[in-house]
Amino acid sequence: MSTTLFDTAPDFSQPIAVLKHCHDRIRKQLQTMQNLLGHLPKHGADAEAQQAAQAVLKYFNKAAHLHHEDEEQNLIPMLQATAREADAALLAELVPGILAGHQQMDKDWSIIKSQLEQIANGASSTLSANDVTRFCDTYAVHMVVEESNIAPMAKRLFSAEQMAQLGSAMQVRRGITPDLPISQVPEQQAAPSNNTVADGVVLADLRLDYGRASLTEHDVLDDPIAQFGKWFEEALHAKVNEPNAMSVATVDADGKPSSRIVLIKQYDSRGFTWYTNYESQKGQQLRANPHAALLFFWSELERQVRIEGKVVQTAAEESDKYFYSRPVKSQIAAIASQQSAPIANRELMEINYEAAAAASGEHPVRPAHWGGFRLDPERIEFWQGRRSRFHDRIVYVKQADGSWVKERLQP
């Protein structure tokens, strides 16, 4: 007979097994809370009670929410994109309850958390049996539904590539660098080449099969600016890394393109606004050719937005308003830097900054060469990644009268 000395956990190559392992750990913490209900009246917030409360707090504060995000942001959207007929109908029935369960458990946890914190530091020995019972019962039913329906469906429907995608997303969420799948390279291609990235991974094989959501002509709003706002809010809610970062592509007088990442500062019915040095490379190119293309890519949501149009400078009043809203050090940096111009070294940059700071004092003045650009959109495309590179693309094109016409594009 063999007994394991530690609690073994599946690795992320088995993401559904990892989710079940999370459930098992949750059950242990729920049992600890129930044990506390019996312990506290007899022994108060003694060292054992404090240790138990600390263990429960640590798990539900740091780990449990990751499990919910695994389901909400990866597992459920992937199933919704994959399931058909009876499976799709079952998901439509179950998912609202699962999401409502997450919200209820988060609400109940906030109540129990404050009680456990008092117990953990020995300040109180009160733990509400009603609050604990409600929390435990909600979790118990929730986990049974997932283990009886969601997990078996995922194991049955997901391809190996989808399982790898789910496992990788779960690793990233936990701050773990996922292992990239290594494709078998034929022997005659085994030597390193310009197409090999690292560790035998072939550049052409670096791909993910998207499956979080879909996009139809009926899903989008009639106004593309409003639709952008809707997606932008969803990116904020999903905690996308720098959702306001966009690529700005411009073309010089000779037709040579260049692009860079900037941060959008405003969007409204007039267009999309960012601020920069008018003498920078992009400023000079926009003087020669006042047209640009913007690109937002939100990988966590498998979405991109492409925007094309004519660019104008913002009014001086608008540039002033934004400039003076910036931290003083950022204002001084805008004065000190001749953006895109060569300079000998970093030390000279620092000298220029100190000189600008000394001259500006506590109230820098916006230089005439610094201000805003606004792109007035003529074409806006919303792209949603889908399985097998069969993506959804909905484009809006502005008409002569200012109205918008939308249509689907082939991937």
List beta partners, residue 404.
Answer: 398
Asked about 173 being catalytic, the answer comes back as no
- Distant-in-sequence, close-in-space partners of 357: CB < 8 Å, separation ≥ 6: 332, 336
Asked whether residue 393 is marked as a ligand-binding residue, the answer is yes
Asked whether residue 265 is marked as a ligand-binding residue, the answer is yes
Asked whether residue 321 is marked as a ligand-binding residue, the answer is no
Asked whether residue 301 is marked as a ligand-binding residue, the answer is no
Please give, one letter per residue, the 3-state secondary structure of the chain.
CCCCCCCCCCCCCCHHHHHHHHHHHHHHHHHHHHHHHHHHHHHCCCHHHHHHHHHHHHHHHHCHHHHHHHHHHHHHHHHHHHCCHHHHHHHHHHHHHHHHHHHHHHHHHHHHHHHHHHHHCCCCCCCCHHHHHHHHHHHHHHHHHHHHHHHHHHHHHCCHHHHHHHHHHHHHHCCCCCCCCCCCCCHHHCCCCCCECCCCCEHHHCCCCCCCCCCCCCCCCCCHHHHHHHHHHHHHHCCCCCCCEEEEEEECCCCCEEEEEEECCEEECCEEEEEEECCCHHHHHHHHCCEEEEEEEEHHHCEEEEEEEEEEECCHHHHHHHHCCCCHHHHHHHHHCCCCCCCCCHHHHHHHHHHHHHHHCCCCCCCCCEEEEEEEEEEEEEEECCHHHCCEEEEEEECCCCCEEEEEECC
Asked whether residue 322 is marked as a ligand-binding residue, the answer is yes
Q: What is the largest CA-CA distance in the chain?
A: 84
* Nearest Cα residue to 267 out of 314, 304, 234, 218: 314
Rounded to 10°, the helix 129-145/15-43 angle is: 160
Asked whether residue 304 is marked as a ligand-binding residue, the answer is yes
Distance CA(235)–CA(139), nearest Å, equals 28
Asked whether residue 261 is marked as a ligand-binding residue, the answer is yes
Asked whether residue 340 is marked as a ligand-binding residue, the answer is yes
Asked whether residue 326 is marked as a ligand-binding residue, the answer is yes
Asked whether residue 282 is marked as a ligand-binding residue, the answer is yes
Asked whether residue 276 is marked as a ligand-binding residue, the answer is yes
Asked whether residue 391 is marked as a ligand-binding residue, the answer is yes
Contact between residue 149 and residue 90 where contact means Cβ atoms under 8 Å apart: yes
Asked whether residue 264 is marked as a ligand-binding residue, the answer is yes
Asked whether residue 387 is marked as a ligand-binding residue, the answer is no
Asked whether residue 159 is marked as a ligand-binding residue, the answer is no
| Cβ neighbours, 10 Å, residue 170 | 23
| Active-site hit among 156, 366, 389, 408 | 389
Q: Which residues are annotated as a binding site for substrate?
A: 265, 322, 326, 330, 389-391
Binding-site residue positions for FMN: 260-265, 275-276, 282, 304, 339-340, 383, 393
- The residues annotated as belonging to the active site are 389
Binding site, annotated residues: 260-265, 275-276, 282, 304, 322, 326, 330, 339-340, 383, 389-391, 393
